[in-house]
Amino acid sequence: MKIRTALVCTATLLLLGTASAQAPAPHSDDPDAFVAAAEAELDALLRAQANADWIAANFITYDSQKIAAAAQELITAKAIELAKGAARFDGMDVSPATARKLEFLKLALPVPAPEDTALIAELAAKSNSLTGAYGSHQYCNEDGECLAEPEMVNVMATSRDPGELLEIWKGWREMGPPMREDYVRVMEIANAGAKELGFDDLGGMWRSNYDMEPDAFAAEAERLLTQIQPLYQALQCHVRAKLNEFYGSSVVPVDGPIPAHLLGNMWAQSWLNVSDLVAPESSGPAYDLGTSLRAAGSDSRDMVRTGETFFTSLGFDPLPETFWERSLFTKPRDRDVVCHASAWDMGDGEDYRIKMCIEPTAEMFETIHHELGHNFYQRAYRDQPPLFRGGANPGFHEAIGDAISLSITPDYLAQIGLMDSVPEESDDVGLLLDMALDRVAALPWTYLVDQWRWGISSGATPPESMNESWWELREKYQGVGPPEARGDSFFDPGAKYHVPAMVSYTRYFIARILQFQFYRALCDAAGYEGPLHRCSFFGSEEAGARLNAMLEMGSSRPWPDALESLTGTRTMDATAINDYFAPLQVWLDEQNAERLCGW
């Protein structure tokens, strides 16, 4: 193992050296020539970085972190150089494609550093330290039993002991305080880098990725959240009331925020695991996909094969054999890995992978479809120029797999043998409630994570108030609060992977909106007629052709063009969400008629 790892690391360093020396820095005064040279350099560097990051995520050691930091340092320096070079052409008359590529060069680095080699190196080292701390964190209880993320997440999903849940919830967040200083420094460096590129701050730079002015996009995101608030507020009211009945008022208040450790999820972003406590009494039992997967003897590869079959039923080609040889499907016994699910494009147009620590659960089954959505998107746009190999906007990439997973209906599960029969329509409220506990419950969460970061980057939230601001936003938007006082000596946001990894979270919010728009359009393409929530477009090659036409565009056109090509509209809206959950909204309003709602 040590010899093989050393060889891989040496090969990666050689690849990095080759990539950095492959082409001279593009200094042409011709914008088209500049862009062509920039794409060639970035393509080589990104391939090298993908290999380095894969090793760092799958072999968490001092040396793997150094290699990943070196790769990030190289590409950060190059991206800064190219961003500043692209700015030389501001205001010049260029073709639409070249103008778009120049803009992408200025936005290429999600976490930019100033043009200072020492700061570039510091940013790379601290960024990799943060993700390494997350991936290697374990909580050891009083009996000396040490638990990593998968085991702790499982306890949060299955336990109904509030004391045990509190212990695990707090234990996972022990990683936060040691991260705090490095996180503040990473934000300082990234903010300075964003300002050098002409943005007000890092948050403004992230919001510029949506073909809109940053402030206009912020207003658009708020408008979209407002559209779904009545449904979310009704859901929160019902869940709080049922948890109060189960745990008692000493644990769950009849009004106010729901304690975050009681919602069946480490981060209270999905509430699906408390379905048994809040399900409607009058409906039949909701199906348990996890039980069906275990009864079928489905292992991790079987579950991924099932996800692949959905895409091939739409007319997509199967994934290459290298996908099955090189992906990580289960947590290794001999080393720490970053178990957070992710999809990987290694940059050569052939090598696509996922990295997951898969368990036979409904959540994992849906996550597999989500991650494969990334892989099929990546492969669809592989023939685009390097700078156009991406989603039409960051939310598009996240939405594709989620739109597919909306098609994981009882009808689909019956077709693939994971259900014996399709439930009657009288059971639909229970099924819709399960869906809402996952998809609707997550909407405010996906909105507030970046709201919190935007406050830090703008200076509205000082470092000494980061944790306080975090819980203020969670109460404001989610109606969720900490189970005990959490002052600013804690750093609870650090316990969510995307925060130390500096991954913008707004993409997930936009994806939650877009997935229902995509889904409704794909159901229309499949010729489906009936209640929207019962649609599965599994097996529809017409839906697949429509989807592939949008995916192949990559980011070559503004996202309204891509959206229109599939849905017929150029505007994001939440009407498909309201259509999908309309029967549930009626039922929730009936349940909440005598309750005190709001927080």
Query: Of these residues, 371, 412, 477, 497, which one is catalytic?
Result: 371
CA 408 to CA 487: how far, in whole Å? 41
Residue 397 appears among annotated catalytic residues: no
Residue 222 appears among annotated catalytic residues: no
CA 73 to CA 118: how far, in whole Å? 10
Query: Of these residues, 137, 238, 261, 340, which one is catalytic?
Result: 340
Strands 258-259 and 480-481: what pairing?
Answer: parallel
Query: Of these residues, 238, 369, 374, 397, which one is catalytic?
Result: 374
How much is the CA Rg of the chain, to the nearest whole Å?
24
Note whether 537 and 512 are within 8 A (CB): no
Residue 181 appears among annotated catalytic residues: no
445 Cβ contact list (under 8 Å, min separation 6)? 267, 268, 269, 474, 477, 478
Note whether 262 and 247 are within 8 A (CB): yes
- Residue 568, H or E segment: none
Note whether 137 and 130 are within 8 A (CB): no
Residue 508 appears among annotated catalytic residues: yes
Query: Of these residues, 341, 414, 528, 541, which one is catalytic?
Result: 341
CA 195 to CA 205: how far, in whole Å? 9
DSSP state of 390: S
CA 338 to CA 570: how far, in whole Å? 37
Query: Of these residues, 381, 447, 505, 508, which one is catalytic?
Result: 508
Note whether 580 and 532 are within 8 A (CB): yes
Residue 374 appears among annotated catalytic residues: yes
Q: How many CB atoms lie within 10 A of CB 267?
A: 21
The three-point CA angle 123-129-130 to 5° equals 90
Shortest CA distance to 325 belongs to which of 311, 294, 346?
Answer: 346
Q: Which tokens in the block code for residue 375?
A: 């892989």
What's at 161, amino acid-wise?
D
Q: Which residue is associated with the tokens 């550093």?
A: 113
CA 40 to CA 436: how far, in whole Å? 45
Residue 484 appears among annotated catalytic residues: no
CA 425 to CA 165: how far, in whole Å? 35
Distance of CA 176 to the CA centre of its chain: 20
Q: How many CB atoms lie within 10 A of CB 364?
A: 18
Query: Of these residues, 261, 370, 397, 533, which one is catalytic?
Result: 370
239, 334, 492 from 499: Cα distances, Å: 27, 27, 10
* Axis-axis angle for helices 466-473, 442-458 (nearest 10): 150
Residue 341 appears among annotated catalytic residues: yes
Note whether 443 and 509 are within 8 A (CB): yes
Query: Of these residues, 498, 541, 542, 564, which one is catalytic?
Result: 498
Q: Catalytic positions, please? A: 340-341, 370-371, 374, 398, 498, 508
